Amino acid sequence: MKINLSFAPTSAELNVYSCFNKTQEEKAAKTTKTSKKAPASKPKTEKVLVKPHWPEEVTEAFEHAVASKHYKGDVGETFALTLVNGQSAIILGLGDKNKVTKETLRRQIAHIYKAVSGRYEDMNLHLDGFLLKGEQEESLAAIVESLHMTSYVFDRHLSAKKTAKLQTINLVTSEKKTAQKKFEAAIAEASKIGESITVAKNFVNEAPNILNSETYAKEIEKDAKSLKNVKVKVLGVPELKKENMNMFLSVNAGSAYGARLVHLTYTPKKATSKTRHIALVGKGLTFDTGGYSLKPGASMMNMKFDMAGSATVYAAFRAAVLLELPVKISCYLGMTDNAVNEKATMPDSIVKARNGKTVEILNTDAEGRLVLGDVVNYACDSKPDALIDAATLTGAILVALGNEVCGLFSNDQKLADALLKSAKNSDEYMWQLPIIDEHKNDMKSVVADLKNIGGASFGGSAKGAAFIEAFIEPGISWAHLDIAGIGDSQGHLPYCSAKGASGLVIRTLVDYLRKQ
């Protein structure tokens, strides 16, 4: 799909214009035939259409359409027209102009794309009626993000590809040419983020018999080598043993594929001693059977999504590099699957973590925290200004927040507040949950320093976070994002797939990195 910026009218099969509405009161009659005054009646209200930047031919076609009298311009309400030149036009209602947000634009552009992508080859989206006052570039970026995310399909294994008929979208504006650089920059930046989200989605959606720890590491390495100012280091089983990552290796023990830790480093061109350094860590479980604590068959389906945390942080890293953000970023991806064979780790096993703490593994299905514990400890060696991990860690987060909200845990309120602010800027749902001393105490073992599940079944997400925190070195600001609810199948958002990778939280992380 091509997205073009045009400062002049362009010929296309379809034209899309926006429409708003405002409420207007009808004044009641003040005079009566009797000498006494009639009681004042409540004023009636009606919705009046606001038609921003409609050309004369569109206004004329709309007014000549008999059914136009029923059109109110409410959010998502559309009206189709045929213009005198033979082109089609759709009026897209956005409701009360004062209530329109960037997220309104994302969602409504997604609806329009889905409605027309199979019917037209090219489309003019007339921007002037969509750009919010004082937020023109931001509005444009939201529209482009939506187009990238909505147009995504995972069809690489289909004999018949799902190619959309719509191949060209012209973003048409009557703004002065002086706005060209700003608009082009907004489109380019949003496209780089959108392309990185696509990369993440492709990884998450790939079948586990194709994407294992070894092939995944190779694909990341191949893609990362195309990026500027990025160094790649891949640790295999021998290197992980030297690093004493015994928790990580315990998860990998039953696998036919060697564990991999992909370590990526981006250093901006003008880095100084004052340049901020952010570490991103991702859980990369390419498939999770639960190990000896075997999952039920129904729960095992879609466990290919258990590496979404690693794909999420890699996509954020990738987008930040493409945007040439002036912040140093280290990215650590812990890759393995959790399988069962005669060498697999058994419940009741005790292993020593990289930081020297011993861990009693009571449940081999609580494996993500074992991988992350060693990897975040490794990441602490570089002494970052902040360390953020993302993982599909617990089913308990869905109980707490539903499948629409990302759970946030942190040992630094300033870092937590910055992430929450970036989530709000990106129109993504994130909610902070606590880690209290009782959670930490419940993760203590009688026969080892720690155990990998709590004694009580409640508060599972917080206790999983408390476990990871035990491997964060003193003085390191840390945040944990539990994306188990939002990593896939976000059908309530029209720009996300009803089934499959969502690509969420990537925009939040990029916004956070941008502000560093």
**Chain mean pLDDT for the chain:** 95
**What are 348-362's pLDDT values in tens digits?**
999 999 999 999 999
Residue found under tokens 């069962």: 340
HEC assignment per residue over 224-255: HCCCCCEEEEEECHHHHHHCCCHHHHHHHCCC
* 163 shares a domain with 104: yes
Shared-domain flag, residues 90 and 229: no
Mean pLDDT of 330-342: 98
Rounded to an integer, what distance in angstroms lies between the CA atom of residue 316 and that of residue 339? Answer: 29
Domain end, chosen from 147, 178, 209, is at 178
Q: Is 413 found in the same domain as 267?
A: yes
Binding-site residues for Mn(2+): 283, 288, 306, 365, 367
Residue 43 has pLDDT above 70, yes or no: no
Structure tokens at 416: 């937590």
What are 431's strand-pairing partners? 407
Contacts of 20 (CB under 8 A, 6+ apart): 49, 50, 52, 73, 93, 94, 95, 96, 97, 100
Residue 203: CATH number of its domain: 3.40.630.10
Asked if 72 and 113 count as a contact pair (C-beta separation under 8 A), the reply is no
Among 121, 153, 178, identify where a domain stops: 178
Nearest to 264 by CA among 328, 330, 336, 326: 330
Q: What is the CA radius of gyration of the chain?
A: 27
Please indicate, yes or no, if residue 39 is contained in any of the structural domains.
no
In a domain, 38, yes or no: no
Among 121, 143, 178, give the residue marking a domain's end.
178
Mean pLDDT, to the nearest integer, of 33-37?
A: 51
Asked if residue 153 and residue 111 are part of one domain, the reply reads yes
Question: By three-state DSSP, how is residue 360 classified?
Answer: strand
Q: Could you confirm whether 295 is annotated as catalytic?
A: yes
Is there a single domain that holds both residue 211 and residue 174? no
**Given 192, 201, 354, 369, the catalytic residue:** 369
pLDDT given for residue 40 in this prediction: 59
- Helices and strands (DSSP H and E) totals, the chain: 15, 18
Binding residues: 283, 288, 306, 365, 367
Residue-level pLDDT at 332: 99
Looking at the chain, the whole-number percentage of residues with pLDDT higher than 90 is: 93
Cα dihedral 117, 120, 121, 122, rounded to 10, equals -90
CA dihedral defined by 386, 384, 202, 320, rounded to 10 degrees?
Answer: 90
Find the mean pLDDT for residues 403-415.
98
Report the pLDDT averaged over residues 119-142: 97
**In the predicted model, is pLDDT for residue 114 greater than 50?**
yes
Task: Identify the helix (H) or strand (E) that includes residue 215.
Answer: helix 213-224
Is 346 found in the same domain as 431? yes
Residue 269: inside a domain = yes
Residue 394 and residue 478 share a domain? yes
Check pLDDT > 60 for residue 67.
yes
Does residue 318 sit in the same domain as residue 353? Answer: yes
Position 187 in a domain? no
Residue 305 lies in a domain: yes
In this predicted structure, what is the pLDDT of residue 177? Answer: 85
pLDDT digits (tens, 9 = 90+) for 291-303: 999 999 999 999 9
List the catalytic residue out of 47, 51, 72, 295: 295
Q: Is there a contact between 172 and 31 (Cβ–Cβ < 8 Å)? A: no
Domain that holds residue 256: 195-514
In 3D space, the residue among 310, 354, 314 whose CA is nearest the CA of residue 335 turns out to be 310
Is 50 exceeded by the pLDDT of residue 27? no
Domain check: are 201 and 171 in the same one?
no
Q: What is the pLDDT of residue 206?
A: 98
Whether the CB-CB separation of 407 and 400 falls below 8 Å is answered with yes
The verdict on 230 and 102 lying in the same domain is no
CA distances from 2 to 88, 122, 369, 409 (A): 20, 9, 42, 40
User: Is residue 428's pLDDT more than 70?
Assistant: yes
Spell out the residues 6+ positions from residue 174 whose beta carbon is closer than 8 angstroms to its own: 7, 53, 128
Please check whether residue 439 lies inside any domain of the structure: yes
Q: Under a CB-based contact definition with an 8 Å cutoff, are residues 320 and 329 in contact?
A: yes
Look at residue 29 and tell me if it is in a domain: no
Q: Is 269 among the catalytic positions? A: no
Same structural domain for residues 335 and 219? yes
pLDDT of residue 28: 46
Whose CA is closest to 463, among 472, 454, 451, 455?
454
pLDDT at 42: 60
Residues 451 and 319 in one domain: yes
pLDDT surpasses 70 at 188: yes
How, if at all, do strands 349-352 and 358-361 pair?
Answer: antiparallel
Domain containing 172 — which CATH number? 3.40.220.10
Return the SS3 of 102. helix
Confidence of residue 162 (pLDDT cuts 50, 70, 90): confident
Q: Work out the pLDDT band at 284, boundaries 50, 70, 90.
A: very high
Q: In total, how many domains does the chain have?
A: 2
In a domain, 317, yes or no: yes
